[in-house]
Amino acid sequence: MKTILFITDLHTGSRVPELAGVREFAVAHDWHVEEIEVARLARPVADVLRYWNPEGCILEGSSNLLPPAEEFGNIPAVHIDAGEAVVKDKATFVVSNDDAAIADLALKELLKSDCNAYAFVGWSARVAWSRHRQERFVARLSEIGRTCHVLTDPWTLGNKDDFATRLRPWLEALPKPCGLFAANDDIAAAVLDVCTMAGISVPGDIAVIGVDNVSAFCDNLRPSLSSVEPDFRGGGRMAAALLHERLTNPATRPQKLTYAPLGVEPRLSTRRLAFYGRRLLTALDLIRCDACAGLKAADVVKVMGVSERLAETRFKAATGHRITEEIRENRFRRACELLSNPRQAIGPIATLCGWESEAFMKRAFKARFGCTMREWRDRQTTRRAHA
């Protein structure tokens, strides 16, 4: 059994699903994966390497706590979401988040909000992933004849009060309605807080979307936050596969790979439907949260507080489709998320997504996507393998 070290600064955030992805790959390849949290070590990393004597290492993140390349000697290493210096080094093997694809999805969602202006708030221009998302977002807007308002280098690490002080007048001065892309959910949450303090309506005046899509976080913001979901678990699997390639063929040339995001989870922060009333927004949030828990159209009608006929009329006028269609689309979205995990058995997905039966869901899925659920999974697997 090969010993592989997953070295990161702390077991938090994206590191958790990335490590899960590495371990999924490890199960099929007889690896023992040991996580090393550098910030919690009581001894030098060099001592840890001598103790474990690993066949390979996966390094997560761009933290300056991570050991330099020379400490690994001849041990093959692969980086996930590394800093810019590591990515540019021609001798390194790197797997990175596809920041361009993330920006594309964010813009696609904001364009649905029918805004007159667009804006971007990043983490820092000195942070590569934030800068890359900004550059792509601005470029795509330029292609369609739109400009983008950018808050220049806004984030002071560890000082949210300073950030809020600088952010408020900038948000107040934005032309409205505006679609705003925040480089991650932490920044988006700060935007929502400042909008609340300044009396700026979200999504009425400013529609907001972030990145990372941790449901426990996004669902509990006010309003709930739309977010792009990176495939961190898939990135972990991709890094493990690249390390496996290095171990199998030591002559493998350095590669720079990217993993695509899973999609967007739309929530109230981009639903610019204020004209139709708060009850409609509440109904949409109910569908998003409970579609897979056996939700019926009648439950949604009850929340809207009007007759079934009037509820359907208002719902279709606002969204372009019926209540049952919105419920179904949310179930399909969740089914695709589950199918993206190769360890998830297909059989239970119908129950997990609130369908009446497995057979009913399979027919509906094939009608919607033009292929079976297994074929959909195989296509996604093939696409990731060639990414």
Structural element, H or E, at residue 331? helix 323-339
Query: So where are the chain's domains?
Result: 2-97+232-263, 99-229, 273-385
pLDDT tier for residue 385 given thresholds of 50, 70 and 90: low
Q: What is the model's pLDDT at position 291?
A: 92
Helices (H), 144-273: 160-173, 185-198, 215-218, 232-248
pLDDT at 276 over 70: no
* Residue partners of 70: CB distance under 8 A and separation at least 6: none
Strands (E), the chain: 2-8, 31-37, 56-60, 77-80, 94-97, 117-121, 148-151, 178-182, 206-211, 226-229, 256-259, 263-265
pLDDT digits (tens, 9 = 90+) for 299-308: 999 999 889 9
Query: What is the rounded average pLDDT for all residues in the chain?
Result: 89
Q: What is the model's pLDDT at position 100?
A: 97
* Range among 198-212, 261-275, 313-327 with highest mean pLDDT value: 198-212
Question: In this structure, how many other beta carbons lie within 10 angstroms of the beta carbon of residue 12?
Answer: 10
pLDDT tier for residue 280 given thresholds of 50, 70 and 90: confident
pLDDT digits (tens, 9 = 90+) for 347-372: 999 999 999 889 999 999 999 888 99
DSSP string, 80-136: ES--HHHHH-TT--EEEE-HHHHHHHHHHHHHTT--SEEEEE-S-TTSHHHHHHHHH
pLDDT tier for residue 72 given thresholds of 50, 70 and 90: confident
Q: What is the model's pLDDT at position 200?
A: 93
pLDDT at 341 over 90: no
* Residue partners of 313: CB distance under 8 A and separation at least 6: none
pLDDT digits (tens, 9 = 90+) for 148-166: 999 976 665 556 777 888 8
Better pLDDT: 117 or 280:
117
Q: What is the model's pLDDT at position 156?
A: 59
b/e for 127-152, b at 16 or more Cβ within 10 A?
bbbbbbbbebbbebbeeeebebbbbe
DSSP letter at 307 equals -
pLDDT at 274 over 60: no
Q: Are 172 and 200 in contact (CB under 8 A)?
A: yes
Better pLDDT: 387 or 68:
68
Q: What is the model's pLDDT at position 215?
A: 86
Average pLDDT over residues 128-133: 92
Does the domain spanning 99-229 belong to CATH 1.10.8.60? no
pLDDT at 297 over 70: yes
Same fold for the pair 2-97+232-263 and 273-385: no
Which homologous superfamily does the CATH classification assign to the domain defined by 2-97+232-263?
Response regulator (3.40.50.2300)
For the question of whether the overall pTM of this predicted structure is more than 0.85, the answer is: no
Say which CATH topology domain 273-385 has: Arc Repressor Mutant, subunit A (1.10.10)
pLDDT at 275 over 80: no
Q: What is the model's pLDDT at position 62?
A: 83
pLDDT tier for residue 387 given thresholds of 50, 70 and 90: low
Better pLDDT: 275 or 204:
204
